[in-house]
Amino acid sequence: MRTQLNSWLKTAQAVSVFALLLFTAACKKDDNKLASGETASANAVKANAIGVSGPKGVCYVEVNNSDLRNVGRYKLASGQQLFDIAIIFAANINYNTSTQKAELYFNQNVANVLNNKATYIQSLQSKGIKVLLSILGNHQGAGISNFPNQAAAQAFAQQLSNAVTTYGLDGIDFDDEYADYGTNGTGQPNSSSFVYLVSALRQLMPNKIISFYYYGPAASRLSFNGVTVGSKINYSWNAIYGSYAVPNVPGLSKANLGPAAIDITTTSGATAASLATQTVNNAYGIYLYYNLADGDYHSYLSNVSNVLYGQPTVYN
């Protein structure tokens, strides 16, 4: 839960991971790419990953108070980037009471990042880091779970796709919080909304990343008329920081799931290391970091990287 508004190589010992690193320093965390003509399913569409063999690092940044570029300042001792995916937290779903439609909204801090894409987005992409935009409710009654029909979901998906194209993003992340369903006369969550939304977005963005922060009404509404959200998205991860819980998203393999989640500013180093150990032992493909703030956290992050990759983290 937010505290504010807002196959894999299986290793039994960290030593064996480190040995592998020395032998294949340029190895990717996931070298699978979408082949030409390949269907856009959860297991076919992969991020073009960076770093060493092991789980991908996914990092949310609260851009209202922290610099997105911090994600690119952390590397492993061998030189690879620590994080594979950076997520801009967050854009919003607003509700236009005149048109009775959902609208994509950027506050001034998010807008600053997007409008200065060369500085914030492309600088990370040049290091191999994928950059996603998180989509969050805004207390106005509109959210990913209450589109009243397929056309409404498709219209909002088009707004998202347009933003990805305009700002050169690598994809969209969905977070079903703070919608306050029912406000402004809006409907309550329904079973078709999220499926319609991700289906439309996948059609518009066959080669981009779509992820789901496993929380909120959408987490219990993942299939409709035989179509599953897991067949349309790439990744899903646990939303409770300091805990280990596997998201129940049918259609996603272990490689596409992140049961471990930490808040860098509040989760203890010992807990972060324990969650990393569970991730490796159970062969899951994602480790989720939230709230990378300004400053130097390399010592803390080494608690995780030493377990996941057999190397400490360094800070540039």
Q: Can you say how many angstroms the Cα of residue 228 is from the centroid of all Cα atoms in its chain?
A: 19
Given a contact cutoff of 8 angstroms between Cβ atoms, the answer to whether 216 and 233 are in contact is no
User: How many angstroms separate the CA atoms of 249 and 232, rounded?
Assistant: 11
- Strand duo 209-214 + 171-175: pairing: parallel
103 as an active site residue: the answer is: no
User: How many angstroms separate the CA atoms of 285 and 141, rounded?
Assistant: 34
Q: Can you say how many angstroms the Cα of residue 127 is from the centroid of all Cα atoms in its chain?
A: 18
Sign of CA dihedral 145, 257, 107, 199: negative
- Which residues, other chains included, contact 187 with Cβ-Cβ below 8 Å and sequence gap of 6+? 146, 148, 181
Tokens 């009471």: give the residue.
97
Catalytic residue, chosen from 38, 62, 103, 177, is 177
- Which residues, other chains included, contact 101 with Cβ-Cβ below 8 Å and sequence gap of 6+? 95, 152, 155, 156
Active site residues: 177
